[in-house]
Structure 1
Amino acid sequence: MSEPTVGCLRVNGATLHYEVRGQGPLLLLIPGGTGGAASFDGIAEDLAEEYTVATYDPRGMSRSPLDDPEAEQRVAEHADDAFRILELLSPGEPARVFGASSGAITAVHLLTARTGRITRVVAHEPPMVEVLPDSPEHRALIGRVTATFRAEGLMPAMAVFAAGLKKDGDTGEPEAGADAGPGDGIDADAGPEAGAGTEVEAGIELPPQAAARAQQTMADLPYFVGRIVPAFMSYVPDIRRLEALSDRLVLAVGEDSRGELSYRPAPFLAERLGSELLHFPGGHTGLTTHPAEFGELLRKAFSA
């Protein structure tokens, strides 16, 4: 794999680490959870044969430090960060945008806020639970996760979060004695390295690069659980605006995610907008588990 061009961009309250590969029209990839730019390593090289592929670590994650580590997070500000990258790399030219999970929420808001700069958005499993008919239940889940995190710490909060993301839609408390190890529930929204911290803590030797990424994932988890989960999963999209932009929005899900909470908003919103729902291979982290197939389908989605 060729090395990307790496840069830093100052934005309001943060410094963003970004990476660029290839030539052609700009394709911005927005990661979800704690994945960061590295979450796209499996697909970026192939996409760079056709596009200028840019990705980055969202503010507060990995190599994109906040000026104020205690700053509250807002979807609109994360979307403005993405816009600043567009302006830097493709000034005045419309771009294509892909977002995964919480990054998909950023992409959806970017489309509604900066319509003239976006030709198409592919949003893979955005956990916009506020669009669902049973949104009060999920609002309560977020409240329990936040309260548990403050009172008991990271792993108990992750156990509560995992229970709320299960396929049966159960948002109740985890069973007593349930294993709340670092991998539990993280795969649902924390990026491809999620769960890798289990191997690190267990003393299993990983390749140096994988070990470093696993350690970074674990380091980013408190920020993810404490700031990103409550801010992003309480986001309410502008449905009326999206109806007017439905020809530019492709909502997508993973074939193996059916029934999970992170799966449900996309088909519900697609039906509301009268738009097609695209199924990608794998589950919520299909771009990591099925990179070749995922990348090829993404390429087709942008060329359609």
Structure 2
Amino acid sequence: MTELETRTLEVPGATLQYDIRGELKDAGADGRPVLMLVGSPMTADGFGTLGSYFTDRTVVTYDPRGVGRSVRTDGAAEQLPEEHADDLRRVIEDLDAGPVELFGSSGGAVNGLALVAAHPGLVRTFVAHEPPTVQALPDREEALAVCADIYDTYQRSGMGPAMAKFIAVTSRKGPFPASWAEEPTPDPAGFGLPTEDDGSRDDPLLRQNIRGCTGYRPDFDALRAASTRIVVAAGKESEGELAARAAASVADRLGIALTVFPSHHAGFLGGEFGQQGEPEAFAAALREVLSAD
């Protein structure tokens, strides 16, 4: 990787930290704008491997508010995609390098949808990889109830039981039936998760982001009218899972074909957080998509 520059940006309710790899003064000079890689609530650490395949580009990553180095100062318990989108806007404007190319994964893809709907001029090409916005699903009422149940389980019983439900829900193939609540509750121990409640309730996924992210309703009219080129993608191995189904529904609502990427929901990871995808193939697919602009 090229030399890293870290910047701090004060925004309403939070202090953000973001990283720049490459020379901003050269960004866009050869027709290749800044490439931003964003997740949520995943921090910049998750893009170490993927970013290493783009040393010919200026790459920007950041920690979303409330996680990692980006400290939330407003005391709010939950976060909305619109807040994250405004943070992304401020980071892009702080870069002062023109419209960026944006790759957003998972919650980062949802936040990118909110950004492009509100500020299309800031993003040249947006690749939304498996945005879990269940509002777009045919079974959205059941899916929203399932996500709310994960949040309620966390508030009631702590991380282990809630994360066990989260893993079971996100890896499930196919729609949720109306009788989903009657299904057996997954055992945290079966996933290697703690069964005892440590009393903490500050998890960025299970408390801060899950309801806002999954409950976000994209502004499809604004997205269809945006000057931004939008690509919606899902992993080959993710077919039928919640986030991939949501991606397919978003693409359909936008009137575009779903782009299939290698591997799974975390296909760009190369061992970060103990997860392994196919990062080299994933990076090649992303490069191809960006080059098509």
- Determine what percentage of the aligned residue pairs are the same residue: 38
Question: Partner of 1:151 in structure 2?
Answer: 156
Question: Partner of 1:19 in structure 2?
Answer: 19
Q: CA deviation at 1:70?
A: 3.6
Question: Partner of 1:188 in structure 2?
Answer: none
Change (3 A) 1:233 1:43: same
Question: Partner of 1:134 in structure 2?
Answer: 139
Matches within 5 A, 1:185-200: none
Change (3 A) 1:276 1:245: farther
* Partners of 1:291 and 1:39 in 2: CA distance: 11
Q: CA deviation at 1:98?
A: 0.7
Matches within 5 A, 1:244-259: 244-245=225-226, 248-259=229-240
Q: Is the 8 A contact 1:30 1:98 kept in 2?
A: yes
* Partners of 2:257 and 2:174 in 1: CA distance: 25
Select which of 92, 96, 111 maps to 1:86. Answer: 92
Q: CA deviation at 1:82?
A: 0.6
TM-score, normalization by structure 1:
0.82
Structure 1 unmatched ranges of 5 or more: 185-194, 202-218
Q: Is the 8 A contact 1:21 1:45 kept in 2?
A: no
Structure 2 residue matching 1:236: 3-state secondary structure = coil
Q: Is the 8 A contact 2:78 2:207 kept in 1?
A: no
Q: CA deviation at 1:174?
A: 6.2
Change (3 A) 1:220 1:114: farther
For the pair 1:44 / 2:35, whether they are aligned, the reply is: no
* Partners of 2:113 and 2:209 in 1: CA distance: 16
Q: Is the 8 A contact 2:131 2:246 kept in 1?
A: yes
Q: CA deviation at 1:247?
A: 6.3
Question: Partner of 1:205 in structure 2?
Answer: none
Q: Is the 8 A contact 1:26 1:90 kept in 2?
A: no
Q: CA deviation at 1:164?
A: 2.3
Q: Is the 8 A contact 2:3 2:22 kept in 1?
A: no
Question: Partner of 2:126 in structure 1?
Answer: 121
Q: CA deviation at 1:168?
A: 4.0
* Partners of 2:20 and 2:238 in 1: CA distance: 30
Question: Partner of 2:264 in structure 1?
Answer: 283
Question: Partner of 2:40 in structure 1?
Answer: 32
Q: CA deviation at 1:173?
A: 6.3
Say how many residue pairs are matched: 268
Structure 2 unmatched ranges of 5 or more: 28-32, 195-199, 270-276
Question: Partner of 1:191 in structure 2?
Answer: none
* Partners of 1:223 and 1:46 in 2: CA distance: 28
CA RMSD of aligned residues (A): 2.2
The one-letter amino acid paired with 2:241 is E
Change (3 A) 1:269 1:240: same
Select which of 233, 243, 251 maps to 1:270. Answer: 251
Q: CA deviation at 1:299?
A: 1.3
Q: CA deviation at 1:83?
A: 0.8
